[in-house]
Amino acid sequence: MQASEIAAVVDEVAGKQAGPEAQETAARLSALMRHVFLYDRGNQLRVIEESGLSMTQCKALLELGGIAESAEPRQVSDLAERFGVSVPSMSRAVDALVKKKLVTRLEDPDDRRVRRVAITAKGKQLVDTLLVVRQAGLEAFAESLSAAQRRKLDAAVDALMDRPDIAETFEHMKGV
């Protein structure tokens, strides 16, 4: 990400001020996420680092990996919009993923002028590795909790399961 892009993100988020309760919840979530993300000595970060992927490439690959069987080919412009980066920036990221044979470009069946990006078996294997490492880290963290702490965390997370996006991801993650 270029310095100007970082500045634009900072400007965008700085203008959005949440209420005090939301700020407190966000601070608690941030502390928890940081702790959980690094709990297993940063194994997930290590796998990403060793893959040689940039964050943009990693995000695109995870998006293309989909949830369960929903991994559908996407246009570069869709990926760019999803992650708030420029189309040229995402195009460069996809080009690097193609060179690593993690994704491939396909002709759109409805419009031959349009190219779509799809994950390859090698790319799916990397996504699966990232998910397994993340799951193992989360399991180790959950194991470190007392039974009472785990029940409270389960109750808090269960309260969010009425959101379709979270519920769909949970159903997929149960199978990993």
- Residue 30 pLDDT > 70, yes or no? yes
35-91 per-position pLDDT tens digit: 888 888 889 889 989 999 999 999 999 999 976 556 789 999 999 999 999 999 999
- Quick: pLDDT tens for 95-136: 999 999 999 999 888 888 888 999 999 999 999 999 899 889
Out of 1-15, 16-30, 47-61, which region has the weakest mean confidence (pLDDT)? 1-15
Please tell me the distance from the alpha carbon of residue 137 to that of residue 143, in angstroms, as a whole number.
Answer: 10
Q: Is residue 46 part of a domain?
A: yes
Residue 3 lies in a domain: no
- pLDDT at 143 > cutoff 90: yes
pLDDT of 166 reads 87
Check whether 15 has a pLDDT greater than 70: no
The predicted pLDDT at position 86 comes to 92
Nearest-angstrom CA–CA distance, 62 and 56: 10
Residue 67 falls inside a structural domain: yes
pLDDT at residue 81 in the model: 94
Residue 76: domain span: 20-144
Nearest to 65 by CA among 174, 171, 172: 172
Report yes or no on 75 lying in a domain.
yes
Here the CATH number for the domain that contains residue 131 is 1.10.10.10
If one counts the domains in the chain, the total is 1
pLDDT class of 14 with cuts at 50, 70, 90:
low
Lowest mean pLDDT among 5-14, 20-29, 49-58, 150-159: 5-14
Give domain status of residue 120, yes or no.
Answer: yes
CA–CA distance, 139 with 36 (Å, rounded to integer):
10
CB within 8 A of 168, min separation 6: which ones?
67
* Nearest Cα to Cα of residue 59 among 8, 127, 108: 127
Residue 142: its pLDDT value, please? 93
How far does Cα 101 stand from its chain's mean position? 20
Indicate whether 93 belongs to any domain. yes
Q: Work out the average pLDDT over 136-161.
A: 93
- Alpha helices, H only, the chain: 3-14, 20-39, 43-51, 55-65, 76-83, 87-99, 121-144, 147-158, 164-174
Is residue 25 in a domain? yes
Q: Is residue 169 part of a domain?
A: no
